[in-house]
Structure 1
């Protein structure tokens, strides 16, 4: 049963003299007189005086007000949090994983390097794209990393492509990633059935088109049936197709972005798989790309 005092502040629950622990009286003389006054700390601040059960009950009761995957459905569109089995959370916290240091000698971490290499190979196979990077630490960072790779690709080709196009049903981070990467953003309206309007898309395609970003299935929960046609339209003008993997869990093992025209994509491993959510996300944002972008 919820403690009715849960909504009170700890200062309101405080009672003078109450303690969480009673220490024995110290028999060591103070040394305050030996320390210059300007080095002494300020007078003790006024803190609530509470027993340990009061503090524990207060915060446990407050915690029940939180929304989490353990207590609620988490409806956030493309950012919807999926439930992770607790066993997987424990595996991710193993000392051999969680306690590794980036400056450890490579000889000490061969097991982890092998696991990461094999993960790259699996993600490449799932995506239908040959090159994978595990470097991005979140989905949006994965988007940015791939877009910067695209910018470098066109720069090396001597092509000045400035536009990134995306439908309004795309993952909300797409325009932000494109803008940070230095591209101009062009947003398309979706048709009444929730899909990309290919006629409107065609009006925006030219030699300035760099990337078309699409979340598939989109944030409306719909798989784009014309994705292969759309990809061909982008490729015909020399552009690249970015598949946002925010909802990749819906097509895992059924369809591969590389097979329906995607040139690059990112995974949200805390959504598609069971990477730890942290504070609702992010977990990690590996990217998969075609050879010419690697």
Structure 2
């Protein structure tokens, strides 16, 4: 796709969506100081999050989670960022709503353009990362609501549905944690680094982003612990219900044993005493009932029933 350039004052924001080799060649010609390896990373589908610092620019690889409604979990979406004095370059697949929204605002709204780009490229980078971190909170809040829903329905009889919900929530939590955790080192490097083209007065802002990212990570860790506890609880409940079913079936089987035994004996092809007696049927039934009653009494005495 064509490269979009947005200039305001002394700041130029170059936004590349679905970069091709021609886009990267054009970027290299426009900014010859960008290292070829960093430019090559822009063509890779997924790179591990990192921050490379050079004499006159920074190169960042940042990943953010984007929820896949069809697959029902979040996938990592990468954005490659170059930041230099008066220059910000973003290269991505076009699947990051906060980045697209921010660029559209800066294009269409003069006030937004001044707010985002009026102070320089590094404050623009802050607004971009701030939007990324803010985009994560609704994902975590949605999971929080789903966990509360599971807790409210934990003791319902629909165990299979609850187990499925727990599995989906756990998978989403693990995916979010796996995506966000590597970003901590990148943001921490911004907060502790000292580069001439990054505003010194942004140190507190980088620290704020780092704290919010840590808070999100902590919330995910807590949610995973809660979900593990809910999973153990539902497993215990399911096991208890299975034990109850097995107990009832076992009792029924045991109680029918006397009648089964008598019917087996009297079906044998041998001469049995009293077989021809006119009341033999009733005697057998009475004897079977008596044995069953005795068995019930014994089980109750043993507190097995």
**Length-normalised TM-score, structure 1:** 0.22
Q: Which has the larger radius of gyration?
A: 2
**Length-normalised TM-score, structure 2:** 0.21
Decide which structure has greater helix share: 2
